[in-house]
A and B are shown apart, each in its own frame.
Chain A
Amino acid sequence: MSHDSSSSLIEGRTGLWEIVIGLEVHAQVTSLSKLFSGASTAFAGEPNAQVSLVDAAFPGMLPVLNQFCVEQAVKTGLGINAEINLVSQFDRKNYFYADLPSGYQISQLYHPIVGQGYLDIDLEDGSQKRINITRLHLEQDAGKSFHDQHPKKSYIDLNRCGVALMEIVSEPDLRNADETVRYLKKLRMILRYLKTCDGNMDEGSMRADINVSMRKPGSALGTRAEIKNVNSFRFIQQAIEYEAHRQIEILEDGGTVVQETRLYDPTKGETRSMRGKEDAHDYRYFPDPDLLPLVLDKNWVETLRKGLPELPDAKKSRFIETYHLTPYEADVIISEEALADFYETGINSLKNKQTGPKLLATWMMGDFFAALNRENKAIEDSPVSAAHLAELVNLINDDTISGKIAKDVFITLWETQKSPASIVEEKGLLQITDTSAIEAVIKRVLQENETMVQEYKSGKDKLFGFFVGQVMKHMQGKAKPEMVNDLLKQALLD
């Protein structure tokens, strides 16, 4: 068997196989308090400190819905081009588990808050693919069990219990690990733009259940296995690849894939069955009688729609159109809203709106990103402001300094946060554009190298570069390179 992660078909012993992947993404809603209680959602608190009596399911405790979580779900629905259901309902999903105090999770099965939507992903070859989204619903997170404190006991911390999650379910439209990761990255980017989920996978704010099945191209869907709670792009890639091969092997040996829940073990790089979890599963969903139907006001939804930020796709098109960026440059700059904002703040300070934006992008993606990366800094912590970076671009654009000098100016700018103009002035880095000054140096250089001038004139064209270098050297790099070229050519003609 062989394949790479972006090809859609896998060659097996019996021919080609197609992977069919659907995702259930659990995204933690950004909110201060929990979905149905007033306890804090902050990450990593003392055990059971962020727990209310409601979260711990004490007798007689009742849920009260968090308005902001509803707003966040609606915003997200709008961000994934989905229909918002003006009437939705919460249901109980009943099952016993150590970290589920009430014995049921409040979720939405029958009438989710958000219906069908989609998002478009960019593929490696530059084409786009639409991934349909089945639904988005609100539900509670469970608590956390710790298994390592005691040889025979598990310890239960309910801090996470009741934190709001959005479960975003995709259609089985994904065909390989690469598409899957692209879908997740796109979804994550949209959530972050909307500020409805921080997308922090390390802290479990976003995790995916991956449904994987195999089929011969063109035939009906095969039996799927669900890989639970995978929380990094790399693991998702690995889990899918492992699972695809596992299933192909079973199928090619004449076996059948069992519909089951599996766990990805990153240390072993394999998926394994969560044994026993299936046999008694019958969730007995029914509408939660402690909660009433959630009715949304149409106008309120429209107000939210109008208030949505510009989303990645729109921003990318606009950047390509307005600033003449390449799709690649646009992708990089819009990948985080903060980067895009930095870029556009810089644009406001540009003097040359024609060539400036493109040059600003080049600078951001070049020396600027390199410096951020080197110091492991986020854009928000950048010592160089957007206005200063734009000023640097302005200095290049109006010939005050050369691109080469600009690199030196940038280093000082990063270190001192002084304005680029003042750095240029202090260091005397002003570009020389005075024809007579350049001509004087050229005259001297040509005099000092008379033999070479003769050689050049007799056809040794390559020596031109040597003369340019000599002139620049005498002028400490401050001469404008194009002028040096032109004047030198003229002088050598004489």
Chain B
Amino acid sequence: MPNSLLTLSALELLSLLKKRELSALDVCENYISQVEKIRPLNAFVTETPDVARKNAEDADKRYKSGSSLPLDGLPFAHKDLFATEGILTTSSSKILSNFIPPYESTVSQKLKDSGVVLMGKTNMDEFAMGSSTITSHYGPSLNPWVSPSSPTTALVPGGSSGGSTAAVAAFAAIASTGTDTGGSIRQPASYCGLVGIKPTYGRSSRYGIVAFASSLDQAGVHARSVKDAALFLQYMAGHDPKDSTSAKVDVPSYLEAITGDIKGKRIGIPKEYRPEGLSPDISRLWDKGIALLQERGALIEEISLPHTDLALPVYYILAPAEASSNLARYDGVRFGVRVEHPGDTLNDLYEHTRGSGFGAEVKRRIFLGTYVLSSGFYDAYFLKAQKVRFLIAEDFKKVFQNGIDFILTPTTPSGAFSVENPPQDPIEMYLNDVFTVPSSLAGLPAISVPAGLSEKGLPLGLQLIAPAFQESGLLNIAYALEHAVQFKGLTPETIFLPQA
């Protein structure tokens, strides 16, 4: 019964492993087969079956000796921007296509120390810049979901953590890391019918994560259920002295916080998230979500976050500006791909290396970021954007100060789109993040929970946002919503696999 093994939740797997009704190696082999089976989805940049087997054997030894670790034997995948010691880490960029880090990111180290079994490194938008996973140097990942009305049209899994969500939705890992800068965990989770949580900025360490925009990047997790997400987040979160922006805030027990009781919780529904022309699909699911929470005793209130429509422009100034600086280190001197022609000066070497090593979207953002920081434009663009960012953060602060406990919004303005015909205009593409970016700018924890299917039969998520460091409460209400929605995910049999 290999398939039913794949559909077990992490908590179920753990209990069977503990009782030694299953061996970690068995689980591992099943998952390795699945990783191989879903290769057409291009979810992984690097598969690590040897590492996985070794991890699983170690887990089995610990189970045998009664000294097991909290996540021992759980098949896991990392987005390919978590540095993994001795394992290729590319950020899906040509410029890092030969990079083998001699170090481990804090988050992946913590998960490793908790016993996870590494299935591989997942595909993503190059340097996490995108909402589709199309910008990867390794080609797009595909969504395991497909519209029943158009069963051969391959869809994007979303992005930038699209490989991570495709892998989990297709049962090639039980959960996976992602990073979220403007929605890169929540949007692909929504597109793939998964739970995706971006914790508070500062909740988990950024050490060893290839940086996109440092003031926004935050590691989180995708899983097939809220409780599984809570389980893994538990062992990712926490202060790290190697990251000055990781906060010294205690990590409570997330699973213990999940009771499903949300009676009396005040849920804010921001009117600015229901612009004219919002897809009826999205509106309908949102209303359903509101009704379900209300049924369970939550108090629904309309709120206002007046600067919402400015969030995307702010984001597309600040994130590229930080990125233009963060990506200056890819210069072909100390690591990564070097492109050098005979007779090149150092500047020629830089220009050739970076000109050929970065893809179009990354270049576009470096150009934009360089421009908004350049002499004469700093005040007009960068400083202005930082000030509006303050106003956006204040919007949230006021709402929470007024007693609102959580905010409920759609995760994305639409469902997954076709890989072949993605939006051509960058701005249209950027609009994908319209609902996720504001909370990113404010650094708040947010989670996407599958809420149902669109007219086309594709998953859509609802987003819940909480005050800073209130992940416990956030997971609890997400669980309540998940429970109420009774979303039916894919099974190993219903995964879309394109014909070769």
Chain A residues in contact with chain B, CB under 8 A?
A: 53, 56-65, 92, 94, 96, 98, 101-104, 154, 156, 282, 284-286, 288-292
Contacts of B99 in A (CB 8 A): 59
Decide if B206 touches A62 in the complex (CB within 8 Å): yes
Q: B469: CB under 8 A from chain A?
A: no
B381-408 vs A, CB cutoff 8 Å, 1 = contact: the mask equals: 0100000000000000000000000000
- Which of chain A's residues has its CB closest to B214's CB? A289
User: Are B328 and A102 in contact, with the CB atoms below 8 A?
Assistant: yes
Could you tell me the distance in whole angstroms from the C-beta of B488 to the nearest C-beta in chain A?
Answer: 38
Complex: chain B residue closest to A152, CB-CB: B343
Residues of B within 8 A of A288 (CB): 214
Contact B207 A103 (CB under 8 A): no
Flag whether B334 is at the interface (Cβ < 8 A).
Answer: yes
- Interface of chain A, main secondary structure: loop
Q: How far is the CA of A105 from the CA of B370 in the complex (A)?
A: 16
Chain A residues, Cβ within 8 Å of B325: 92, 94, 103-104, 284, 286
Most chain A CB atoms below 10 A, which of B83, B209, B328? B328
B215 contacts which of A65, A98, A103, A289 (Cβ < 8 Å)?
Answer: A289
Q: Decide if the interface of chain B is mainly helix, strand, loop or mixed.
A: loop
Specify which chain B residues have a CB less than 8 angstroms from the CB of A292 in the assembled complex.
Answer: 244-245
CB pair B214–A103 under 8 Å, yes or no, is no
Q: Which residue of A lies closest to B375 (CB)?
A: A282
A64: min CB distance to chain B, Å: 5
Complex Cα gap A53–B207 (Å): 11
Rounded to whole Å, the gap between the CB of B100 and the closest CB of chain A is: 11
Contacting residues, chain B, for A57 (C-beta < 8 A): 329, 334
Known A-B contacts A60-B210, A289-B214; the reply to A104 vs B102 at CB < 8 A is no
Tell me if A101 and B329 are in contact (CB < 8 A): yes
Q: Which residue of chain B is the closest to A98 with respect to CB atoms?
A: B346
Report the minimal beta-carbon distance from A339 to chain B, rounded to whole angstroms: 42
Kindly list the 3 A-B residue pairs having the minimum CB-CB distance in the complex, ordered from nearest.
Answer: A103-B328, A289-B215, A284-B373
Closest B residue, CB atoms, query A57:
B329
Q: B457 in the interface, Cβ–Cβ < 8 Å?
A: no
Q: Is the CB of B211 within 8 A of A60?
A: yes
Residues of B within 8 A of A61 (CB): 207-208
On whether the beta carbons of B243 and A59 are closer than 8 Å, the reply is no
| A291-B328 contact, Cβ under 8 Å, with A56-B334, A57-B334 | no
Min CB gap B236→A, angstroms:
15
Which A residue's beta carbon lies closest to that of B349?
A98
User: Is B176 close to A, CB under 8 A?
Assistant: no
Q: Please state if B329 and A64 are interface contacts (CB–CB under 8 Å).
A: no
Give 21 A-B contacts (CB < 8 Å), ordered by A residue.
A53-B102, A58-B334, A59-B101, A60-B81, A60-B83, A60-B105, A60-B207, A62-B206, A62-B207, A62-B242, A64-B241, A96-B347, A98-B333, A101-B334, A102-B329, A284-B373, A284-B375, A285-B373, A285-B378, A289-B213, A291-B244
On whether A63 and B244 interact (CB within 8 A), knowing A101-B334, A284-B370, the answer reads yes
Q: Is the CB of A58 within 8 A of B245?
A: no
Q: How far is the CA of A210 from the CA of B333 in the complex (A)?
A: 32
Knowing that A103-B328, A286-B322, A292-B244 touch, tell me 10 more A-B residue pairs with CB under 8 angstroms: A57-B334, A59-B81, A59-B89, A59-B96, A60-B211, A61-B208, A62-B242, A64-B242, A96-B328, A102-B328
B374 and A282 within 8 A (CB)? yes
- Mark B301-344 against chain A: 1 for CB-CB distance below 8 A, else 0: 00000000000000000000110110011010111000000000
User: Chain B residues with Cβ under 8 A from A290's Cβ?
Assistant: 211, 214, 244-245
Residue B103 at the chain A interface, CB threshold 8 Å: yes
Does any Cβ of A come within 8 Å of B91's Cβ?
A: yes
Q: Provide the bound-state CA to CA distance between A57 and B333, in Å.
A: 11
Chain B interfacial residues counted at CB < 8 A: 43
With A59-B211, A292-B245 known as contacts, the answer to whether A286 contacts B321 (CB < 8 A) is yes
User: Measured between C-beta atoms, what is the minimum distance from B440 to chain A in Å?
Assistant: 13
Q: Which residue of A lies closest to B82 (CB)?
A: A60
Q: Does A62 lie within 8 Å of B331, measured CB to CB?
A: no
Question: Please, which residues of chain B bring their CB within 8 A of the CB of A60?
Answer: 81, 83, 101, 105, 206-211
Q: How far is the CA of A284 from the CA of B367 in the complex (A)?
A: 13
CA distance A102 to B321 in the complex (A): 15
CB closest residue in chain A, given B206: A62
For residue A65, give the distance in angstroms from its CB to the closest CB of chain B: 7
Closest to B335 in A: A58
Min Cβ gap B321→A in Å is 6
Chain B contacts of A96 at CB under 8 A? 328, 331, 347, 350
> Is B333 a contact partner of A156 (Cβ separation < 8 A)?
yes
The distance from the CB of A91 to the nearest CB of chain B, in whole angstroms, is 10
Q: How many Å lie between the Cα of A64 and that of B101 in the bound state?
A: 20
Check A59 against B91 for contact (C-beta < 8 Å): yes
Output the least CB separation between A209 and chain B (Å). 20
> Does the CB pair B101–A58 fall under 8 Å?
yes
Cβ of A102: which chain B residues have Cβ within 8 Å of it?
328-329
Contact A58–B103 (Cβ < 8 Å):
yes
Measured in the bound complex, the distance between the Cα atoms of B334 and A269 in whole Å is: 36
Complex Cα gap A94–B369 (Å): 12
Per-residue contact bits, chain B 236-257, to A (CB 8 Å; 1 contact, 0 not): 0000011111000000000000
> What's the nearest-Cβ distance from chain A to residue B339, in Å?
15
B residues less than 8 Å from A92 (CB atoms): 325
Hey, which chain A residues are within 8 Å of B375, CB to CB? 282, 284
Q: How long is the Cα–Cα vector from A65 to B321 in the complex, in angstroms?
A: 23
| Chain B nearest Cβ from A117, distance in angstroms | 28
CB neighbors of A among B48-99 (8 A): 81, 83, 89, 91, 96, 99
Determine the chain A residues whose CB is within 8 A of the CB of B346 once the complex forms.
98, 154
**Smallest Cβ-Cβ distance to A90: which chain B residue:** B244
Rounded to whole Å, the gap between the CB of B214 and the closest CB of chain A is 4
> Which residues of A lie under 8 Å from residue B209 when comparing CB positions?
60
Which residues of the other chain, B, contact A154 by a CB distance below 8 angstroms?
346
Chain A hits for B334, CB < 8 A: 56-58, 101
Q: How far is the CB of B490 from chain A (nearest CB, A)?
A: 32
Among A56, A59, A65, A286, point to the contact of B382 (Cβ < 8 A). A286
Q: Which residue of B lies closest to A63 (CB)?
A: B244
Bound: A285/B375 CA distance, A: 9
Contacts of B102 in A (CB 8 A): 53
